[in-house]
Structure 1
Amino acid sequence: MTAETYAGLTQLGHASPRPASPDEAILEAVPNPQAGHPYLVRFTCPEFTSLCPVTGQPDFAHLVIDYVPDRLLVESKSLKLYLHAFRGHAGFHEACTVGIARRLVEVLAPVWLRIGGYWYPRGGIPIDVFYQTGPAPEGVWLPDQGVPPYRGRG
């Protein structure tokens, strides 16, 4: 890959403010240099935040995004800015988690994608949200997401 491969990126290598909303965030993709060789890519965001759409209070989650790329990879700085755009976004846990997955699928057209949204308790109840595009591809190593179930203070 040459520098020209990455010439169209608008955020990498540039000062990039946090987008005002997830809808305004630009998710960028780059060519997969290992296309045709199935492998898993994992992004872990242990400090994801959004807002409750009813109370406006902050909600916190540990997100784990796994995908098997096809022709494109998500550019990681653009993913980070996209996820940070949720800090001012009001949405239920399910809408945020599944919405992130669907946006990644739209941009990347991966072979396969799954997301685990492990939300911290509000009102004493943790909510975990899981989404995947279909059965996992055969022959690709899929490690456990490594997030233990919520156990409180015990």
Structure 2
Amino acid sequence: MTDKKDIYANLTQLGGETKLPNSPEEAVLEKVPNPQVGVHYCVRFTAPEFTSLCPMTGQPDFAHLVIDYVPSDWLVESKSLKLFLGAFRNHGAFHEDCTVSIGRRLVELLDPLWLRIGGYWYPRGGIPIDVFWQTGDAPKSVWIPSQDVPTYRGRG
């Protein structure tokens, strides 16, 4: 069996002070070996206070992100994910681009069996924009809970 310290040896951000990257492109996403390879299970990350900037006005946009994935050989290291998501605070892009870009970057890093991301965005110009992306059908043998984030209702 591999020594646990060995599987974490290449991490550069965990366990110390790390500054928030200036952009998603600068952010370093890190991965660790999945200690449960061959077991199909769902991992969920929820970022209820995600922020990016409107590319036209520079005003902040806010979203509740839910990322679900079924790992294969790799897990995303959570601190690196937090820093990656935080890097969007200074990034100007539309809701659709932010949501899909996050999902695609994770797929590129992890090559998971399956991944989906739900971006539940608060209204811009009076219209909430929710964005959903996934890699394909979820594995039938894995319990994938509903995201259960209600659509924005305002005062309604």
Report TM bin, short chain: over 0.9
Question: How far apart, CA to CA, are the structure 2 residues paired with 1:80 and 1:149?
Answer: 24
1:1-154 correspondence to structure 2 within 5 Å: 1-154=3-156
Q: What is the aligned-residue identity percentage?
A: 72
Please report the TM-score for the alignment, with normalisation by the length of structure 2. Answer: 0.97
- CA offsets 1:112-148 (integer angstroms, 9 cap, x no match): 0000000000111000000000011111001110201
Deviation at residue 18 of structure 1 after TM alignment: 0.1
Deviation at residue 76 of structure 1 after TM alignment: 0.1
- CA offsets 1:58-100 (integer angstroms, 9 cap, x no match): 0000000000000000000000000000000000000000000
Q: Which amino acid aligns with 2:11?
A: L
Question: How far apart, CA to CA, are the structure 2 residues paired with 1:135 and 1:122?
Answer: 31
Q: Which amino acid aligns with 1:102?
A: R
Question: How far apart, CA to CA, are the structure 2 residues paired with 1:142 and 1:50?
Answer: 28
* Aligned residue pair count: 154
**Structure 1, unaligned stretches of length 5 or more?**
none
Q: CA RMSD in A?
A: 0.6
Please report the TM-score for the alignment, with normalisation by the length of structure 1. Answer: 0.99
Question: How far apart, CA to CA, are the structure 2 residues paired with 1:13 and 1:106?
Answer: 25
